[in-house]
Amino acid sequence: MRVARTLPALTRAIAALRARRGRIALVPTMGALHEGHLSLVRLAQKRAERVIVSIFVNPTQFAPNEDFRSYPRTFAADLNALAAQHVDLVWAPAAETMYPEGFGTKIVPEGAALAGLEDAFRPHFFAGVATVVAKLLLQCAPDIALFGEKDYQQLKVITQLARDLNLKTRIVGAPIAREADGLARSSRNVYLTPDERKAAPTLYRALQACAAQIAAGQPLGAVLDEGRAAITRAGFALDYLEARHSATLEPIGSAQEGPIRLLVAARLGRTRLIDNVAV
Ligand code: AMP
């Protein structure tokens, strides 16, 4: 497994991968790798002959009051996990490589990025994500790039970005990897105290209960109100629990307007968790 940390090294490594032919997949990550990331790598290996994983904690997608400084960084362990998975290339640029002095371009997505979900609570987030992902896709020029449904709105924004900018890379979504008790795997789960960790699966259970009730024909508004109450009772500070059209993320009034995706974000102590399910 090669590790590139500068743009010239990346260019050389990608030329070597291209010389061996076959499709190239990119899996962008912020490191602190867990089973969710590795499931993306395995899916990438099914879809492409060569796999690149990028590791970059992107400062521009964090607001000043967010956890950029404390975000978990486990680079040595990440490299071991990726080598064990037979990844071909790791792209791990420094912040100065991605944003050198004089950097002055920002991609500000609209459409799915203005759905009133994550954007309502993290207004800076999708411009940071869109800009860094566009750079990663241009730097690596992969045939496909994989993103988790865990970050469902982000997957929609990136799909839209690739289409709108006529990027050659096909964006592929991957299912959510969960702990045995249902908690969606996340690099931020390490922030949870033992008590918070016990309460955390409530989020997924509430989503599942809402999805079952909606599928059984119960009225959307009442189901969501009960879901919101259950999440708050479990000790979360709720940012949102919403039913949206699964393709457009537009609000919907009844199950007939679906297919529905239920999306939630809530804070438990200092940890902000997000999750979503299909109905
Ligand atoms: P992150 O390192 O958190 O920015 O995530 C990198 C990629 O892994 C994103 O496409 C995420 O959606 C995806 N991802 C993170 N957690 C999971 C999970 N539990 N299941 C599936 N994909 C995930």
Calpha distance 107→218 (Å, rounded): 41
Are residues 29 and 128 both part of a single domain? yes
Mutual angle of helices 202-215 and 220-233, in 10-degree steps: 160
Is the pLDDT score of 119 beyond 90?
yes
Listed in sequence order, the residues at least 6 apart from 11 whose beta carbon sits closer than 8 Å to its beta carbon are none
| Alpha carbon of 176 to ligand 1 centroid (Å) | 8
Q: How many domains does the chain have?
A: 2
Q: pLDDT tens for residues 232-273?
A: 999 999 999 999 999 999 999 899 998 999 999 999 999 999
34 is catalytic: no
Domain containing residue 231: CATH number: 3.30.1300.10
Ligand 1 pocket residue status of 30, Cβ below 6 Å: yes
Is the pLDDT score of 34 beyond 90?
yes
| Alpha carbon of 235 to ligand 1 centroid (Å) | 25
- Residue 182 domain flag: no
- Give pLDDT, residue 21: 85
Structural domain harbouring 68: 2-174
Listed in sequence order, the residues at least 6 apart from 251 whose beta carbon sits closer than 8 Å to its beta carbon are 116, 242, 243, 244, 245
Pocket test for ligand 1, best of 33, 37, 187 (most atoms within 8 A of CB): 37
Ligand 1 pocket residue status of 150, Cβ below 6 Å: yes
Active-site option among 34, 37, 124, 245: 37
The two structure tokens encoding residue 35: 């089973």
Listed in sequence order, the residues at least 6 apart from 88 whose beta carbon sits closer than 8 Å to its beta carbon are 1, 2, 17, 50, 51, 52
- Residue 88 domain flag: yes
Stated pTM of the model: 0.97
* Residue where a domain stops, chosen among 148, 174, 200: 174
Ligand 1 pocket residue status of 40, Cβ below 6 Å: yes
* Residue where a domain stops, chosen among 151, 174, 197: 174
Are residues 167 and 42 both part of a single domain? yes
- Quote the distance between the C-alpha of residue 169 and its chain's center: 17
